[in-house]
Structure 1
Amino acid sequence: MKQAKTFVHEVKQNIPHFKIIHILNADQSSFNYEEFSTRTLSTSDERSTVDRITSSKAFTHSRTIMPIINIAGNVVGLVFICSQEPLGRLGPRVVQSMHKARNIHVTCSKSGN
């Protein structure tokens, strides 16, 4: 805790020596998406359902984003997005249909990080 307080104190002392556009913060955020079947193990005349099918083919996807923002609140440079792909690369259909934005860099890996 003492190290954190020392860091904050030093930053507050040094901030006035820099332009606000040169004080940057980068933070990484990850998002996980799960897709699964919602089919149930029941027949049409059953009064209640006790379980649902969980497919072995259910899968998750993760996305990691990393924006860099200056103290004025402006995004600096490109926003980095890394997508999880089973083969570690984007498929041709994904690349073709993906929106191309000038302020975003998209890449991928097997882990999504």
Structure 2
Amino acid sequence: MRLRSALAAAVGGLLLSVALPSSPAAAANGEFVYTYVGLNGVSLRGALPDPESRVCITIPETVDSALPAFAPGNFTDATATVFLDADCNGDTFYVMPPGRRLGDRLRLRSVVFS
């Protein structure tokens, strides 16, 4: 009898958790901008509008490029941690508070927002 009650409670809890809507992923409001070298060596501006929080984002323009992006600007409402390596790996990173713009010397391939 106890096993049946416990099983019914577990199944009911599982069904309830599946039926409830999941909360959407939080996003940083604003835009994260950067510069990258495009075809023919031309510097172009890239942007991540309203990026997702707590998810590593590899800068798309650096995926198949030998050159990292540079000169990031964090115009979101979240703190951005930029990494020199893709997939937010490596020991070279920099923490950027909201509203901060850095110069051409800072290189990055990925970023994660708080």
TM-score band w.r.t. shorter chain: under 0.3
Higher gyration radius (CA): 1
Alignment TM-score, normalising by the size of structure 1: 0.24
Between Structure 1 and Structure 2, which shows a larger proportion of strand residues?
2
Alignment TM-score, normalising by the size of structure 2: 0.24
